[in-house]
Chains A and B, each alone.
Chain A
Amino acid sequence: MKKRLYLELENCIGCRSCLAACTQCGGHEERNRNYVYDVNPLVNRQTMPLMCLHCENPACARSCPAQAIQIHETGAVLSALVEKCIGCQNCTIACPYGIPKFDQEQNLMYKCDLCIDRTKDGIPPMCASVCPSNTLQWLTDEEIENKKKQFNLDNGKWVTSMPYLEGETNVKVNLPGILQGITKLF
């Protein structure tokens, strides 16, 4: 059963477990590849994670002169192949969400690969495995569909993609209700 990463952004409590877990994934060499942001840092404590959304038409891969960014058959957009990346940094400029990171010393780009050794076998990625607040989940399409039904649809508040994102993505995002003053219908 194909599962996807699914984000419910407003659940985030800012614990940064996902960043810590990311560093421990095989191949990540103890560096994390994701982000957690304060939404309004001077006023309240709301945080949100920002992950690679694994675009269906990934700008990072399209802009790479070396074809170093491969798209896995599961749809995951992989990190740069270590022997191919020539260090031009086009991908960092192209990604609409600013996800790829670049190491100057190693002349190498690295980005979220959706923990491909795990997810290719249906095991959730590190971040979703540890998230204590159900912000990051690993769900089947059917489960995501059911989630969708729990929410008050047709109010424009559940949007998994456009216009809040720049294109269709493999990772599904649920927009926060709390910040928009809407109570979720759990």
Chain B
Amino acid sequence: MQAKAAVNQKTGNTLNNAFASHFAKSMFLSVTALAILSFIGTRMFTHVDLNLYGYMVGTIVFIGGFFYRFIAWGERPPTKLILKKGLKLLKRKSTPKTSVEHLATYNFIWNRGIYRWTQHVLIGWGCILSCFVTFPLVFGWMYFTMDDNGHYNIIAMGMKVMTVPADGIIANLSYNALNITAIMVIAGVCMALYRRLKNMQARAEQNFLYDFMPLYMLLLVSITGLALTFMNIFLHGAGQPAMSLIHQWSVIITLIYLPFGKLAHIPFRPMSVLARNYREHYAEQGMKECKVCGDQFVSSEQSKDVVDVLGVNDIEFKAKEGHHLAEMCLPCRRKYRIAQFSGFPTHEVKVKEANQNAKG
């Protein structure tokens, strides 16, 4: 048993050693996967749409930036910890519900304000739906063929899944899918920009590259996309090739920018589900009692994990009394600090903290 494990570890290591880094390995595996999927989807590259070639290059550069950024991030001690423990807990019963609430319906943004929620649903779902339409087309996983009798065939991964009349509802929805999503994104981005004019908060802590650039890029992508449709329908395709280039360029820049700016939250937000599972699971396992008042304020596991993570950063907060400061509940920890300032043990007086809400 032991020997077998050792051997496994060894072969595992040689596979890892074949690549210069995690980065090289992940990059290699994903580009290979993309190539294989496209190979199958296009029936051995017989249905490649060369107009979409730029997107393909853009996506591959994006994957490079993505792995570069996220592998560095995953190596940080607190991140690694939540990822590791959270992934093990994915089988919790609450996972599907938490995932939907956190990643699809954004209930928590609703609680921040209906305006913010509407704005995010428009931007977020607008983008997600656009990707569902665009990516399969770009990599040839999905394409359309036309029969003589005015019917379209929708072909996914090389198989015919549906035949629809060319002027039917489904066909119209699929021609217009990207127009609809573009309008969603434009509306959402306008809401975000309007909020920056109106609400000083949105203006705080922001700089051009982090805050405005993603909004302007999303706007540019959507407007040039809509302009393409407009030129097709009303201008009989005049100016279409140039606009197509601008559109392609804006999508590629957005993709490349994505891992480094505000939009980096998209691939990374699913971790909020891991964090929720981590908190729920370990809270059931056992709660930490405050060293001063005995209140249960966090799971024992998380309390220990935070102390360890701080230790890795050479931070250690030992109280004179011998315990770590993280072992006190928050009100006691605050009173303990007052006690350090005044010399009087405020935290030992059993009186609840008074009037902390500025409500008179």
Task: Spell out A's residues near B (CB within 8 Å).
Answer: 9, 16, 19-20, 22-23, 26-29, 32, 35-42, 46, 48, 50, 57, 59, 62-67, 70, 72, 78-79, 81-84, 86-90, 92-99, 103, 105-108, 113, 116-117, 164-167, 173, 175-176, 179-180
- Interface pair A94/B108, CB less than 8 Å apart: no
Query: 8 Å CB contacts to A: which residues of B328-360?
Result: 328, 330-335, 337-338, 340-344, 346, 349, 351, 353-358
Q: Do B344 and A117 touch across chains, with their CB atoms under 8 A apart?
A: no
Q: A55 CB to closest chain B CB, in angstroms?
A: 9
Please report the C-alpha to C-alpha distance between residue A179 and residue B342 in the assembled complex, in whole angstroms.
6
Q: Does B313 make an interface contact (CB < 8 A)?
A: yes
> Chain B nearest CB: distance from A138 CB in Å?
18
Q: How far is the CA of A93 from the CA of B279 in the complex (A)?
A: 13
Judge whether B358 and A65 touch: CB under 8 Å. Answer: no
Residues of A contacting B: mostly: loop
Known: A93-B303, A117-B200. A23 touches B262 (CB 8 A): no
**Contact between A67 and B334 (Cβ–Cβ < 8 Å)?**
no
Q: B272, A86: Cβ atoms under 8 Å?
A: yes
| B333→A26 contact, CB < 8 A | no
Selected from B81, B200, B298, the residue in CB contact (under 8 A) with A27 is B200
**Contact partner, B298, options A41, A70, A89, Cβ 8 Å:** A89
Contact A78–B271 (Cβ < 8 Å): no
How far apart are B180's CB and chain A's nearest CB, in angstroms? 24
CB distance from B327 to the nearest CB of A (A): 9
**Is there a chain A Cβ closer than 8 Å to B79's Cβ?**
yes
Contact present for A180 and B343 (CB under 8 Å): yes
**B contacts with A: majority SS:** helix
In the complex, A40 Cα to B346 Cα: how many Å? 6
Q: A65-B78, A65-B79, A117-B204 are in contact. Are A106 and B108 (CB under 8 A)?
A: yes
Contacting residues of chain B (63-114) with chain A, CB-CB under 8 angstroms: 73, 76, 78-79, 81-83, 102, 108-109, 111-112
Closest 6 A/B residue pairs (Cβ): A26-B200, A27-B201, A19-B358, A98-B333, A86-B272, A107-B108
Q: In the bound complex, how far is the Cα of B342 from the Cα of A164, in angstroms?
A: 10
Within 8 Å of chain A (Cβ to Cβ): is B317? yes
Closest residue of B by beta carbon distance from A163: B340
Q: Are A19 and B357 in contact (CB under 8 A)?
A: yes
**Distance in Å: Cβ of B265 to nearest Cβ of chain A:** 4
- Residue contact A16 to B272, C-beta cutoff 8 Å: no
Q: How far is the CB of A31 from chain B (nearest CB, A)?
A: 8
How far is it, in angstroms, between the C-alpha of A89 and the C-alpha of B82 when the chains are bound? 12
State in angstroms the CA–CA spacing of A66 and B199 once bound together.
Answer: 25
